[in-house]
């Protein structure tokens, strides 16, 4: 989705943009409907890839025939991610045709990320992926900490800091207050904390269960809304909230898209993401854009939330998170102040047209060096 929004914003600036992507057949209808609402999406040239067999998943075999004609005609290429065989193949084709390319790291080379399946990633780096990274014109960094975090790898390529964002059209106007409550009468219009992300271990669902148990103990009304697809951590999370005796206060509503996502943000009292690692979180950015104060962890690498007084950036300690959330729940003026500061931060610094300009400038700089 991030790649599609950036590509659409580049197309909105008048550029000829082609997007190659893998498509999940089971989610095709929902995802396509969501993509169609992106401004300038109709200006993109879309190239969905056929389903991958085992050899293609592991080695990228067969990818050349899809990628080579497109890369040969391109001025510059932007690879979104690291650990996909098709990206390694695309990098090799770019080098063959002397096409400059950027690699969006998205936190995938952070120490925490490298510790996950560590041996597999170490082997992959030595057998093709390090060459892909070092052959790039620049590494696309999502946050100010990422340059330091990747230093132990000894990569020889400069980094360029380019964040994510929102389209102004997505948040102006926002849905009316009460729309999410109307769609979820089980909330009984009680105040709620919103978690909006994949239900994955990385996102700190275990921390979320622990901190909300503390919040629920102090506030008899507050609910927790957990919105997002299961990424493998849902069962453990449900066990934790059941053992804490708070299942009746926690509402798992599944993935939400488009207007309903924004409605969920508008009706929430605060947004919470106790993540173990983030590159540049779209969920945080969208919460701020919706005027919702954010309570996030330090590993989210989004210190601007605190410096702009748009929320709290905290170590992964349940009590610290609970205290911050309770403070927001009890102080409507603080919620309004932080919400307004967050929206101003996003609208002045993190909109897709501005970010698209930054990427175009990076491509042009790479072309001048080529």
> In angstroms, rounded to a whole number, what is the distance separating the alpha carbons of residues 206 and 236?
8
Q: Are residues 205 and 334 in the same domain?
A: yes
Q: Are residues 141 and 222 in the same domain?
A: no
Cβ–Cβ < 8 Å for 312, 295: yes
Residue-wise over 85-117: b if at least 16 C-beta within 10 A, else e?
Answer: bbbbbbbbbbeeeebbbbbbbbbbbbeebbeee
> In angstroms, rounded to a whole number, what is the distance separating the alpha carbons of residues 256 and 187?
16
Helix, strand, coil abundance in the chain, percent, nearest 5? 55, 15, 30
Q: Are residues 180 and 313 in the same domain?
A: yes
Q: Are residues 289 and 357 in the same domain?
A: no
Q: Are residues 144 and 185 in the same domain?
A: no
Give the start-end residues of each E strand in 257-325: 270-273, 294-297, 311-314
Backbone phi, then psi, for 338, in 5-degree steps?
-70, -40
pLDDT score for 77: 98
pLDDT tens, residue order, the chain (370 aa)? 789 999 999 999 999 999 998 776 666 666 666 777 889 999 999 998 877 654 455 455 567 888 999 999 999 999 999 999 999 999 999 999 999 999 999 999 999 999 999 999 999 999 999 999 999 999 999 998 999 999 999 999 999 999 999 999 999 999 999 999 999 999 999 999 999 999 999 999 999 999 999 999 999 999 999 999 999 999 999 999 999 999 999 999 999 988 999 999 999 999 999 999 999 999 999 999 999 999 999 999 999 999 999 999 999 999 999 999 999 999 999 999 999 999 999 999 999 999 999 999 999 999 998 6
Give the start-end residues of each E strand in the chain: 18-22, 45-49, 77-80, 101-104, 138-141, 159-161, 192-196, 223-227, 250-254, 270-273, 294-297, 311-314
Crossing angle of the two packed helices 282-289 and 258-267, in degrees rounded to 10: 60
Total domains, the chain: 2
pLDDT score for 66: 86
| Residues spanned by the domain of 300 | 168-349
CATH code of the domain in which 269 resides: 3.40.50.2000
How many other CB atoms sit within 10 Å of the CB of residue 280? 23
Q: Are residues 207 and 234 in the same domain?
A: yes
Counts for the chain of helices (H) and strands (E), in that order: 19, 12
| This prediction's pTM | 0.91
Q: Are residues 153 and 173 in the same domain?
A: no
Q: Are residues 250 and 336 in the same domain?
A: yes
Cβ–Cβ < 8 Å for 277, 113: yes
Q: Are residues 22 and 101 in the same domain?
A: yes
pLDDT score for 60: 56
Q: Are residues 209 and 279 in the same domain?
A: yes
Q: Are residues 360 and 262 in the same domain?
A: no
Residue where the block lists tokens 């919040």: 215
Report the sign of the C-alpha dihedral through residues 302, 147, 81, 124, in that order: negative
Q: Are residues 189 and 265 in the same domain?
A: yes
Burial of 130 per CB tally in 10 Å (0-12, 13-18, 19+):
middle
Burial of 3 per CB tally in 10 Å (0-12, 13-18, 19+):
middle
């Amino acid at each position: 989705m991030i790649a599609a929004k950036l590509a659409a914003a580049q197309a909105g600036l008048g550029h000829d943009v082609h997007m190659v992507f893998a498509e999940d057949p089971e989610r095709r209808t929902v995802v396509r409907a969501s993509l169609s609402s992106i401004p300038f999406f109709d200006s993109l040239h879309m190239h969905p890839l056929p389903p991958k067999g085992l050899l293609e998943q592991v080695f990228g075999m067969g990818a050349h025939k899809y990628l080579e004609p497109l890369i040969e005609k391109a001025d510059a290429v932007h690879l979104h991610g690291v650990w996909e065989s098709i990206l390694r193949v695309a990098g090799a084709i770019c080098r063959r045709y002397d096409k400059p390319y950027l690699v969006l790291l998205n936190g995938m080379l952070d120490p925490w990320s490298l510790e996950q399946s560590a041996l597999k990633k170490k082997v992959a780096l030595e057998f093709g992926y390090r060459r892909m990274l070092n052959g790039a014109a620049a590494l696309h960094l999502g946050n100010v900490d990422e340059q330091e975090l990747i230093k132990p790898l000894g990569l020889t390529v400069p980094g360029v800091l380019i964040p994510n964002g929102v389209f102004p059209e997505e948040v102006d106007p926002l849905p009316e207050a009460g729309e999410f409550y109307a769609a979820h009468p089980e909330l009984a219009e009680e105040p709620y904390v919103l978690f909006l992300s994949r239900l994955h271990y990385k996102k700190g669902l275990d921390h979320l269960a622990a901190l909300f148990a503390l919040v629920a103990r102090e506030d008899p009304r507050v609910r927790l809304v957990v919105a997002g697809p299961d990424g493998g951590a849902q069962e453990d999370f449900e066990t934790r909230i059941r053992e804490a005796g708070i299942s009746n206060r926690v509402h798992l509503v599944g993935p939400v898209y488009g207007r309903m996502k924004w409605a969920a943000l508008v009706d929430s009292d605060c947004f919470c993401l106790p993540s173990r690692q983030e590159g540049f979180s779209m969920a945080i950015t969208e919460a701020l854009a919706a005027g919702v104060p954010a309570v996030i962890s330090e590993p989210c690498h989004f210190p601007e939330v605190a410096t702009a007084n748009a929320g709290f950036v905290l170590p992964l300690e349940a009590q610290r998170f609970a205290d911050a959330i309770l403070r927001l729940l009890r102080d409507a003026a603080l919620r309004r102040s932080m919400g307004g500061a967050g929206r101003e931060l996003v609208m002045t610094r993190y909109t897709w047209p501005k970010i698209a300009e930054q990427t175009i400038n990076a491509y042009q700089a790479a072309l001048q060096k080529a």
